[in-house]
Structure 1
């Protein structure tokens, strides 16, 4: 899977050096632009056994040539830029493209997505919401049955990435992906240890689902139940290979969700190493 659809799918053996810059030795298709994810068709047992077939050439109702059929499933999130799926042979080290799909566009590349709520102080009366959109016009968070706050908007460009002179780097060169626009707004006038509903977006780009948050207890509260974790890593939710996978990360995320559903959790602390994109921006967003 590549994105954007005009990314180069030429074979670039030198891309192996770009991966090694990050300390990762995993095998990925050595294309001239970073492939977001990839799968072997051997993930479908029907493909290698050719147990499913289709006629690709026939004369007078007689099939002259059959093709083996196979399928794989990709878990895809809205990364705003259009995507293509590329079918290649030659293994990862010398990929040779056989065919590719037409570009596939997301229904709403400007949609407000991936909201994260965080506490800004120890009073429990203000919470910051940060989200990403393909649109740079300020948006709103609406909360507490009638209140609203307008977002400030920031982004960064390829010029902000660092690279040694004359040496390609993942973030600035073959791993670059447009990050969209980062929106941030602070919800004020809240009460500690209280649950509020909220949604974010705008009438022009659409709104998120209505969600809920719980403010933390005020400083000095007698009891506090919290989760602390770090160095979780990341991994795909399908059978894909991608850069720098930590398989245990999905188990950590599931365990945290289970604890939140089953127990009274006041706060969650992530203590660091949160991205793991190491220069491949499509993974960060």
Structure 2
């Protein structure tokens, strides 16, 4: 791991993410790329050199002041992290498009980002930038809602174990090894998708043996929904992090079927690690 991308909007959740990314970066001897995306007035344009073009002088002054303020705050954030190299970058445009470009063009190995989550109609129609990153990022994403003060000792990995996903498991094993954590493999049984425990145990044992997982437990957990089951199980064992694969589903299929991983990102209080499944 060499490059960690940390988006910031200067919220407290983004600072929690930066602090956690710094812990990871120190352990991995990695570099942090701290990125802020400006939403400049519609008639203004911002060049990579920092020059502002606008037909309205007041808009130009506003944008310049905004850039200056952002540069100052970025410098303060970078200075708050010790023992890690932090590069700061300020862009303008759509946060999702900017971050996607950074991931693809800067060989980013991990995204660590804060999120406050979303609920209700906003969750269905708008979605958060974190949710979009989870759905589309080509590298693992860790979302953070609160300060992470302790070590990552227990990781919950939830799956239905119905498909082979070697790329996901490879990344999962790297995550477990990096933190030296115990991996708790869990299958959630719900009334609407119930399976015999014997079959689930066979599938999980086959999964664990096939991918040579070590320091691992397996459990079957019953709940009303997969989302609630994963969060309740993580709470029961006092897990430090939840790990999941996400389908990256988009369009109407995503609207009607949703993504359990994205729901967990929105609602779980614990940090959530996700990796997009490759078909």
Bigger proportion of residues as helix: 2
Whether TM-score is above 0.5 comes out as: no
Q: TM-score range by the shorter chain?
A: under 0.3
Greater length-normalized contact order (CA 8 Å, ≥ 6 residues apart): 2
TM-score when scaled to structure 2?
A: 0.25
TM-score when scaled to structure 1?
A: 0.24
